[in-house]
């Protein structure tokens, strides 16, 4: 059952592909290593060429060294040569709320573009779809770095 509160949803994914993506994220959750929080998260990313990559959260006793499921899935895809994505689905055990990526993961997602779909899910398969840009308004993006470089090129060097 799909939630009707979609924001900036990008068209193009067939229902069967969305279902497969969500199922993969739910399966990835089963592999989560979360002995401290007991909060299992799984993610599945779909590349523009139709490849799927999954990830789960991996905690560490030094809490800042843990890594979120979304970043694991994207890192796996990037390590295999993929940098363009159609969608990502995120799964957890939350029954009453749709799982949403943390701030760090939102920034990680937008590194690969603002116009691809994020499926926030519940264990029953219901989901809410929104574009990456809706998750992180006024984001700092690779384009901002390019703007800064262009500005530096325009500024005259007063010391030469």
| Burial class, 116, CB count within 10 angstroms (exposed 0-12 / middle 13-18 / buried 19+) | buried
Q: Is 56 annotated as ligand-binding?
A: no
Q: Is 34 annotated as ligand-binding?
A: no
Q: Which residues are catalytic?
A: 70
CB neighbour list of residue 123: distance below 8 Å, 6 or more residues apart: 26, 91, 92, 93, 94, 95
Asked if residues 22 and 119 have their Cβ atoms less than 8 Å apart, the reply is yes
Token duo for residue 160? 């030469």
Q: Is 68 annotated as ligand-binding?
A: yes
Please report, in range form, the residues annotated as the binding site for Zn(2+).
68, 102, 105
Please report, in range form, the residues annotated as the binding site.
68, 102, 105
């Amino acid at each position: 059952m799909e939630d009707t509160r979609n924001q900036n949803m990008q068209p193009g994914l067939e229902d069967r592909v969305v279902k497969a993506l969500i199922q993969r994220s739910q399966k990835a959750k089963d592999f989560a290593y979360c002995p401290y929080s007991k909060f299992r998260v799984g993610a599945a990313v779909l590349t523009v060429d139709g490849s799927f990559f999954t990830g789960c959260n991996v905690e560490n006793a030094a809490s800042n060294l843990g890594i979120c499921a979304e970043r694991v899935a994207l890192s796996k895809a990037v390590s295999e040569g993929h940098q363009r994505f159609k969608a990502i689905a995120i799964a957890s055990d939350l029954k009453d709320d749709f799982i949403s990526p943390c701030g760090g993961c939102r920034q990680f997602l937008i590194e690969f573009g603002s116009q691809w779909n994020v499926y926030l899910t519940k264990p029953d398969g219901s989901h809410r779809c929104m574009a990456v840009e809706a998750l992180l308004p006024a984001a700092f993006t690779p384009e901002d770095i390019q703007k800064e470089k262009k500005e530096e090129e325009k500024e005259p060097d007063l010391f030469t």
